[in-house]
Structure formats: structure tokens, C-alpha cells
């Protein structure tokens, strides 16, 4: 039976063109899909949320919130109103995440910003960008997506000041404009429709005398150029996002009905990632059939830029987490070090498996050690932590960018594209490539990334059944040690100039931590060691020592 699709928007009684736009999207989706019916529904406007299900054929319904984020209308109003339909049934109605939280949203905003910079001859280094959302103090989730998008754009547009701002929350649009002083300004309205906030309120706040139409508004005031873009919901990319959500969800629904027999493990498609997924599959109960689902991630698709330059805090896990949240997989498998430092409220790490050997090693073309490489030799890595530690030991070598799967990196060295590469020893072990290793560094020479060599098994936060299946494989010792390392990273790396390498051990009821904090600009390195009976005490002591050196850290990021 074909599913029906409901495109659910806030809508507007005062501005019918808002609802017309959503109805147009619904019509385009219906014309180009295999779904039974595709209709729009509104909180303000007909058909209402509370009536739309009763107007659809009997059968499965997928509700796609045409909204920017989780929040009051998405989490409270929409589900409440849908339940008022006489035909509402929890077995046949499923709601996807909101359109604004889709992983492609950041790419749409980045593309818009790049177009505006070129169209209006703006200099990235003399520019401030405001990503403006609605915001509301009654539901903090309404802010989160706007803030994450601003952070992602800041990474991609390095050197440009990018800030989140809100219509009904802090920081306000006015205070944000005041904070950018003399810089030119681009305002990206993170709204799905051309409603009152974007058409009238936002232009007035920014000092425009006319309403916003389908094209950006531009003004020059006291030497500053201000460009107000149209709402992101008017971008053609919305149809692609809606189409993605509409097609992903039915597949997930069919597979969920077979959970008693099948568990879908989501992973990257590299040989290393497949090894990791296969390893996890091997420890799961034998009564389940395990299907490994390969998912393309941003970090795998873009191998030209350094990892730090990609427009995401977690380029190797974002797409897999999205698949998990949207129900296309049941369990996500990650290298723990690749996960973002702030976990989504929609997911949780149910298990951290016993850790492998976290040491680093070197693979060289001429089969020599690091210290025997010739002066000026090229050493491959795209990781600042590794690059700074190499230069600490051999300041005369040249660091070159190296991206790609582990086996491909080894092959690049063998082919002579560079003299050497720094890799995680455990990765070469898992792929049976240890014969390529020329030197294994001890932990005094070379510290690993926080969480290195540990596998994280992630489930949806509301999937208690899957949590119960996976959580018995959690190893308390590995979780405690890696949590200490990652808490240190969480405290230090909000300072974009600093990067951290760390290794913790828990033995004989004591925690031992060795950390190396490195400045990318000043090339300064600080080694810190600490022991104690609790992880919190060790972390507090290390941060206290660090602060006494003059390198302050954001302790509010520590939990």
C-alpha cells in the first residue's frame, strides 16, 4: 500500500502566499513520486493539522515538518493536533525530523552565502554573517539548529565572522548587528516561509525601508554594505530535502517491522569501517540477522580539503547519525574519536567496546624511522594534532595533506607521492597491513587523539529495545578512560588555536592522564600529567595547571 505524505507547516492566515508555497511543494512532490497522496497541512490555514489525516486514504502516512527545527510547534503542537484526527493511529502515522535539521541544509546555506559574496563583491575577511532564526525562551531546541548551522558555516568560511541571531531570543538581531561594528553584513534568514518575520520584521530591524521580496535587499549605510537574503525555505534545495525525507521513511518503516529478526548496522564504506561493523556484528546475539548498511559521509566524499576545513564538526559521522535518527538504520558504528563532542539529544552511545592499541606509527617509502628521514622530507597527514607532534620531533620536515582510507594512504606512500605518513597502528593491524609499519611511537613521543582505537555503538535515544541489545557490550574501563580524554578535549578545543592529544589509563583504582596541548599558531607545546582517584579530580587538576600557564580554557564545556 502506497504511503501518503503530509507536508506540515506553521502557515499564515494573514499571508496566503506562505501556504501557497507549501502547497506548491506538495504538488511537485506528488507529481514526481510513487506515493499515494502528498498534501500540505497547517497550524494556521486549511487543511489544519487536526483534520488532514481524516482526508487521506486509509494506510501509512509520513508527516514531514516543513519547519526549521525541533521546538514548540514541531514537538508539541503538531503531534497534539494530529492526534485529534479520528483516523490517527500510531501504527500508521510516522513523523520525520524537521526539514531544517536535514544534513543538506548547511550546504544550501553555504551555497547561498558563496553566491552573495560573489554577487555583491564582498570580502570574506571584512564580512560578518548573521544566521537568523526565530528562537523562543519556552523551548531551547528551537535555537539549537540555528546555532549549529552558524558554527558549520564558520568552519567553512574561515576568517569570516559568523554569528547566530534570533527574532524572539538572545542574542537579538539588533545586538548582533551592533557587535559587528564596521564590517559588511550578510543576513541569512533561517525561516521556511516568507511570513511576517522575514518580510516585515527583519527588514525593519535592519533599517530597510521596503519589505523583502523574492530577491535580496541591499543597502549601504555609513560605509557598511548590508545584504538581506530571502528565507532559506524558498531555495530550490528544499524540494530535494523533502524528497529525501519522503523516500527514506517508508523504507525505514518496513524494516522496523522486522526488528525481531534483523538489525541494520550503519557505517562508512571504507575497508576499516566495514571491519569495525563486522566486528560489532560478530558480538551481537546470534538470533538476529545483521545487515551492514554502507553510508557515504561528507568526510569521505570530500578528500581534497583538510579535515579541519570541512563544514562540519563531525564530517565522518554526521550522515550516519542522520540515517539513525531518521530510522534508516537501527545502530550506528563509529570510531569514537570521530564523534562530535556534543551528542545529539536524539541519540546515545549505548556501548564503547574494549579499546585497541592507541599508539601512532609511521609508514615510509624508504623503510626508515622518522628520525632517519632526510631533511625536507614530506610527511603526510591532514590532522593538526599529528602535524604538530611530527614537527616537534622533526622541525625540518615538510607536512603535506593526506586524506582517504587507511589502505589508500599506505599506497600513496608506497607510490612515492610522499616520503612518509603518520597513521594509527590499530588501523593497520585491523586491515592486516602491519608489514607496512616502519616505526611505532611510544606514548611519550607521540600521543593519540582522545578516544583513539575505541569503537562507539550508537542508538536512537528513544529505542530502549536496541539499547538493551547493545549495551551489554559496553566496557566500563574503556568508557571511563576515553570519557576523561574527551572531556579534556571538550574543555580545550573551543579555542580554535589549540589542539589536544591525550591518553588516559585506569588501573588500581586510580586515573592517570597524559595530555599534550599544542598551539597551531605559536607552535607552542605543553605536556601535562596527572593522577588521582577520580576522573573529575584529574581533569580539574590538569585544567588548573593549564590555566596557570596562561592558556585559559572554557571550563563550562566540561561535564
* Rg, C-alpha atoms of the chain: 25
CB half-sphere exposure, 93, CA atoms < 13 A: 23
Angle between the N-to-C axes of helices 406-414 and 271-283, in degrees from 0 to 180, rounded to the nearest 10:
140
Asked whether residue 256 carries a pLDDT value surpassing 70, the answer given is: no
CB half-sphere exposure, 153, CA atoms < 13 A: 31
Please tell me which residue, 13 or 455, carries the higher pLDDT value: 455
496 φ, ψ (degrees, to nearest 5): -65, -15
Contacts by residues 74-83 (CB-CB < 8 Å, ≥ 24 positions apart): 74/98, 75/139, 75/141, 76/139, 77/43, 77/49, 78/8, 78/43, 78/49, 81/43, 81/48, 81/49, 81/50, 82/49, 82/50, 82/52, 82/53
Asked whether residue 402 carries a pLDDT value surpassing 80, the answer given is: yes
pLDDT band at 253 (very low <50, low <70, confident <90, very high): very low
Query: What pLDDT score does 252 carry?
Result: 36
CB half-sphere exposure, 498, CA atoms < 13 A: 21
Please tell me which residue, 151 or 8, carries the higher pLDDT value: 8
Asked whether residue 558 carries a pLDDT value surpassing 90, the answer given is: no
Percentage, residues of the chain above pLDDT 70: 92
Enter the C-alpha cell of residue 30: 506528488
Query: What are 89-128's pLDDT values in tens digits?
Result: 878 888 888 998 887 888 899 889 989 999 999 988 889 9
What is d(CA 339, CA 458) in angstroms, rounded to the nearest whole number?
10
pLDDT band at 16 (very low <50, low <70, confident <90, very high): confident
Mean pLDDT score, 419-425: 96
- Where are the alpha helices (H) located in 74-171, listed in sequence order? 78-82, 105-119, 141-156
377 φ, ψ (degrees, to nearest 5): -60, 150
Query: What are 285-298's pLDDT values in tens digits?
Result: 777 888 889 998 87
419 φ, ψ (degrees, to nearest 5): -75, -30
Does the CA dihedral 417-419-422-427 come out positive or negative? positive
Does the CA dihedral 27-192-214-151 come out positive or negative? negative
Asked whether residue 137 carries a pLDDT value surpassing 80, the answer given is: no
Query: What pLDDT score does 390 carry?
Result: 97
Query: What are 477-535's pLDDT values in tens digits?
Result: 999 999 999 999 999 877 778 999 999 999 989 999 999 999 888 778 899 999 999 99
Residues 6 or more apart whose CB falls under 8 angstroms from that of 535 comprise 480, 483, 484, 487, 504, 511
Does the CA dihedral 152-153-159-164 come out positive or negative? negative
Asked whether residue 280 carries a pLDDT value surpassing 60, the answer given is: yes
Enter the C-alpha cell of residue 553: 580554557
Percentage, residues of the chain above pLDDT 90: 46
Residues 6 or more apart whose CB falls under 8 angstroms from that of 326 comprise 96, 97, 245, 248, 249, 252
Asked whether residue 559 carries a pLDDT value surpassing 60, the answer given is: no
Asked whether residue 208 carries a pLDDT value surpassing 60, the answer given is: yes
Please tell me which residue, 395 or 107, carries the higher pLDDT value: 395
Please tell me which residue, 20 or 256, carries the higher pLDDT value: 20
Query: What are 347-376's pLDDT values in tens digits?
Result: 999 999 999 999 999 999 999 999 999 999
Query: What pLDDT score does 140 carry?
Result: 65
Query: Cβ-count burial of 216 within 10 angstroms (0-12 exposed, 13-18 middle, 19+ buried)?
Result: middle
What is d(CA 519, CA 524) in angstroms, rounded to the nearest whole number?
5
DSSP string, 218-270: EEEETTEEEEEPPPGGGSTHHHHHHHHHHHHHHHHHHHHTTTTTEEEEEE-SS
Domains parsed from the chain with CATH numbers: 4-98 (3.40.50.1400), 105-234 (3.40.50.1400), 261-349+457-472 (3.40.190.10), 360-440 (3.40.190.10), 475-559 (3.30.160.40)
Enter the C-alpha cell of residue 303: 578528500
DSSP SS3 for 533: coil
Mean pLDDT (the chain, rounded): 86
What is d(CA 94, CA 100) in angstroms, rounded to the nearest whole number?
18
The answer to pTM > 0.75 is no
Is the bond into 70 cis (omega within 30 degrees of 0)? no
Other Cβ atoms closer than 10 A to 318: 23
Angle between the N-to-C axes of helices 141-156 and 105-119, in degrees from 0 to 180, rounded to the nearest 10:
50
Largest CA distance in the chain: 77
Query: Using the 8-state DSSP alphabet, how is residue 70 labeled?
Result: S
pLDDT band at 257 (very low <50, low <70, confident <90, very high): very low
Lowest mean pLDDT among 237-251, 265-279, 315-329, 484-498: 237-251
Do 9 and 66 meet the contact criterion of CB atoms below 8 Å apart?
Answer: yes
Mean pLDDT score, 170-199: 87
What is d(CA 77, CA 391) in angstroms, rounded to the nearest whole number?
56
Angle between the N-to-C axes of helices 105-119 and 237-256, in degrees from 0 to 180, rounded to the nearest 10:
170
Residues 6 or more apart whose CB falls under 8 angstroms from that of 513 comprise 484, 485, 488, 502, 503, 504, 528, 529, 530, 531, 538, 539, 542
The secondary structure element, H or E, covering residue 413 is helix 406-414
Enter the C-alpha cell of residue 413: 606512500
Nearest to 360 by CA among 397, 385, 343, 391: 385
Amino acid at each position: 500500500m502506497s504511503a501518503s505524505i503530509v507536508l506540515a507547516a506553521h502557515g499564515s492566515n494573514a499571508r496566503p502566499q506562505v501556504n501557497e508555497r507549501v502547497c506548491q511543494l506538495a504538488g511537485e512532490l506528488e507529481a514526481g513520486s510513487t506515493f499515494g497522496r502528498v498534501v500540505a497541512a497547517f497550524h494556521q490555514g486549511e487543511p489544519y493539522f487536526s483534520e488532514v489525516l481524516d482526508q487521506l486514504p486509509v494506510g501509512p502516512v509520513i508527516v514531514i515538518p516543513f519547519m526549521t527545527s525541533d521546538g514548540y510547534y514541531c514537538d508539541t503542537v503538531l503531534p497534539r493536533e494530529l492526534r485529534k484526527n479520528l483516523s490517527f493511529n500510531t501504527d500508521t502515522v510516522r513523523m520525520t525530523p524537521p526539514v531544517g535539521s536535514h544534513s543538506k541544509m548547511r550546504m544550501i546555506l553555504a551555497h547561498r552565502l558563496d553566491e552573495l559574496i560573489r554577487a555583491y563583491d564582498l570580502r570574506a575577511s571584512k564580512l560578518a554573517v548573521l544566521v537568523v532564526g526565530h528562537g523562543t525562551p519556552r523551548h531551547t531546541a528551537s535555537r539549537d539548529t540555528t546555532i549549529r548551522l552558524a558554527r558549520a558555516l564558520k568552519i567553512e568560511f574561515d576568517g569570516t565572522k559568523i554569528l547566530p541571531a534570533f527574532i524572539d531570543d538572545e542574542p537579538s538581531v539588533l545586538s548582533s548587528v551592533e557587535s559587528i561594528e564596521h564590517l559588511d553584513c550578510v543576513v541569512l534568514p533561517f525561516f521556511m516561509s516568507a511570513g511576517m518575520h522575514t518580510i516585515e520584521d527583519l527588514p525593519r530591524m535592519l533599517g530597510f525601508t521596503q519589505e523583502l521580496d523574492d530577491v535580496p535587499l541591499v543597502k549601504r549605510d555609513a560605509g557598511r554594505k548590508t545584504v538581506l537574503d530571502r528565507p532559506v525555505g524558498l531555495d530550490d534545495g528544499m524540494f530535494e530535502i523533502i524528497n529525501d525525507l519522503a523516500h527514506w521513511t517508508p523504507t525505514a518503516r518496513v524494516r522496523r517491522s522486522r526488528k525481531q529478526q534483523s538489525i541494520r548496522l550503519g557505517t562508512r564504506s571504507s575497508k576499516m569501517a566495514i571491519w569495525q561493523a563486522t566486528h560489532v556484528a560478530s558480538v551481537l546475539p546470534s538470533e538476529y540477522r545483521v545487515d551492514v548498511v554502507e553510508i557515504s559521509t561528507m568526510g569521505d566524499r570530500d578528500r581534497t580539503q583538510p579535515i579541519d576545513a570541512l563544514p562540519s564538526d563531525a564530517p565522518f559521522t554526521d550522515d550516519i547519525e542522520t540515517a539513525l535518527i531518521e530510522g534508516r538504520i537501527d545502530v550506528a558504528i563509529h570510531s569514537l574519536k570521530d564523534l562530535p563532542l556534543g551528542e545529539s539529544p536524539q541519540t546515545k552511545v549505548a556501548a564503547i567496546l574494549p579499546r585497541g592499541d592507541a599508539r601512532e606509527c609511521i609508514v615510509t617509502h624508504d623503510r626508515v624511522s622518522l628520525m632517519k628521514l632526510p631533511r625536507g622530507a614530506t610527511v603526510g597527514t591532514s590532522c593538526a594534532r599529528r602535524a604538530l607532534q611530527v614537527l616537534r620531533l622533526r622541525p625540518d620536515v615538510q607536512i603535506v595533506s593526506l586524506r582517504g582510507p587507511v589502505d589508500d594512504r599506505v599506497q600513496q606512500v608506497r607510490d612515492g607521492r610522499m616520503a612518509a605518513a603518520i597513521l594509527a597502528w590499530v588501523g593497520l593491524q585491523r586491515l592486516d597491513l602491519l608489514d607496512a609499519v616502519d616505526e611505532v611511537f611510544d606514548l611519550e613521543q607521540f600521543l593519540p587523539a582522545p578516544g583513539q582505537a575505541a569503537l562507539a555503538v550508537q542508538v536512537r535515544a528513544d529505542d530502549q529495545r536496541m539499547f538493551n541489545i547493545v549495551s551489554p557490550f559496553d566496557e566500563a574501563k574503556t568508557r571511563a578512560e576515553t570519557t576523561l580524554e574527551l572531556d579534556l578535549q571538550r574543555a580545550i578545543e573551543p579555542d580554535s588555536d589549540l589542539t589536544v592529544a591525550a591518553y588516559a589509563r585506569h588501573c588500581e583504582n586510580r586515573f592517570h592522564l597524559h595530555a599534550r596541548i599544542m598551539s597551531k599558531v605559536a607552535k607552542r607545546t605543553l605536556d601535562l600529567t596527572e593522577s588521582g582517584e577520580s576522573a573529575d579530580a584529574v581533569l580539574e587538576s590538569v585544567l588548573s595547571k593549564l590555566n596557570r600557564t596562561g592558556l585559559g580554557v572554557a571550563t563550562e564545556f566540561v561535564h
